[in-house]
């Protein structure tokens, strides 16, 4: 049973797939209800990315993210989405062993969050699993290039697909399309490879650090809002400096408390939530 009570139809994976060579597909991540409400106003697709492990939970990589974490945040985001297509990441270890393992976990994510699709990482070696899910009614978004769940095998968060590696990444994307993925995320690739794959496959490519030639773009919301002072990936344009604004606000509050300028009961947490 779906966790949501939608009045308005959201965009579907089929709508996103039809955007190939149409208006660029606008995507962002979200992990909480309030942020989902904001993102939903401007985005076609909202991803509950497993980046939440690093962004929200302070993990050193996405490898430690669990099904429980994805479902909890997926449910929170679903409460804030009325129009965008909602996709939830499958966490590391929940889909790689076998197609039926992937089906059980993907079905649980969809049933318990009310999302419309799952995303999983990996190219040619995941094609059989993608086909298995798609044939059983689960729309899948692929993810090739830099696949952060494989950080231990890749030896870091490096640009992928340089030189001879380009052929392998292009083949990965093509195999996901053939397996029935409705869109494919291209992460950290040379811009010319992003453009090439976009021309070669028939479903939308969603770039993150893969150049402007993709059919759509995605960023981690907290990165583009500038919530972190110490983390500045080169490909992320900051649209705000919310980390600094928050630090200033917290410092101003601390100053007020220390100076005895404390608000009255009308500003208590429960009071302000109830109104």
* Contacting residues toward ligand KIV, per CB under 6 A: 29, 47, 49-51, 89, 185, 187, 208, 218, 220
- Catalytic one among 112, 121, 177, 187? 187
Distance CA 214, CA 248 (A): 37
Smallest distance, ligand KIV to C-beta of residue 253, A: 30
Q: Is 187 part of the annotated catalytic residue set?
A: yes
Smallest distance, ligand KIV to C-beta of residue 273, A: 29
Residue nearer to ligand KIV on the CB measure, 87 or 251: 87
Distance CA 109, CA 105 (A): 6
Residue nearer to ligand KIV on the CB measure, 49 or 211: 49
Distance CA 138, CA 120 (A): 12
Helix (H) or strand (E) holding 99: helix 99-113
Half-sphere exposure of 164 (CA within 13 A, CB side): 0
Distance CA 198, CA 221 (A): 24
DSSP helix/strand/coil, 25: strand
Residue nearer to ligand KIV on the CB measure, 60 or 260: 60
Helix (H) or strand (E) holding 104: helix 99-113
Residue nearer to ligand KIV on the CB measure, 135 or 212: 212
Contacts of 35 (CB under 8 A, 6+ apart): 77, 80, 221
Residue nearer to ligand KIV on the CB measure, 210 or 254: 210
Smallest distance, ligand KIV to C-beta of residue 29, A: 4
Smallest distance, ligand KIV to C-beta of residue 45, A: 11
169: tokens are 């990444």
- Residue 74 near residue 48 (C-beta atoms within 8 A): yes
Residue nearer to ligand KIV on the CB measure, 76 or 208: 208
Distance CA 261, CA 168 (A): 62
- Residue 115 near residue 48 (C-beta atoms within 8 A): yes
Smallest distance, ligand KIV to C-beta of residue 206, A: 7
Distance CA 6, CA 201 (A): 33
Q: What is the dihedral of CA 67, 71, 74, 75, to 10 degrees?
A: 180
Smallest distance, ligand KIV to C-beta of residue 121, A: 8
Q: Which residue is nearest to ligand KIV (CB)?
A: 49
- Which residues are known catalytic residues? 187
């Amino acid at each position: 049973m779906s966790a949501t009570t939608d009045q308005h139809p959201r965009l579907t994976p089929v709508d996103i797939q039809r955007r190939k060579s149409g208006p660029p597909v606008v995507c962002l991540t979200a992990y909480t209800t309030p942020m989902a409400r904001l993102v939903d106003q401007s985005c076609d697709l909202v991803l509950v990315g497993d980046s939440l492990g690093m962004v929200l939970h302070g993990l050193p990589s996405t490898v430690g993210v669990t099904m429980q974490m994805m479902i909890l945040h997926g449910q929170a985001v679903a409460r804030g989405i009325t129009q965008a297509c909602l996709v939830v990441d499958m966490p590391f270890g929940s889909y790689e062993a076998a197609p039926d393992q992937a089906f059980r976990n993907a079905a649980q994510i969809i049933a318990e969050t009310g999302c419309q699709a799952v995303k999983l990482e990996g190219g040619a070696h995941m094609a059989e699993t993608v086909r298995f899910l798609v044939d059983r009614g689960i729309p899948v978004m692929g993810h090739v290039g830099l696949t952060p769940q494989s950080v231990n095998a890749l030896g870091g968060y490096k640009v992928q697909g340089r030189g001879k590696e380009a052929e392998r990444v292009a083949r990965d994307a093509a195999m996901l399309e053939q397996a029935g993925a409705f869109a494919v995320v291209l992460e950290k690739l040379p811009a010319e490879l992003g453009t090439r794959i976009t021309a070669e496959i028939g479903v939308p490519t969603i770039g993150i650090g893969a150049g402007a030639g993709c059919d759509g773009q995605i960023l981690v919301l907290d990165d583009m809002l500038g919530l972190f002072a110490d983390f500045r990936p080169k490909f992320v344009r900051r649209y705000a400096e919310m980390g600094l604004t928050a630090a200033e606000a917290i410092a101003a509050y601390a100053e007020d408390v220390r100076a005895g300028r404390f608000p009255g009961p009308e500003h208590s947490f429960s009071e302000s939530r109830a109104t």
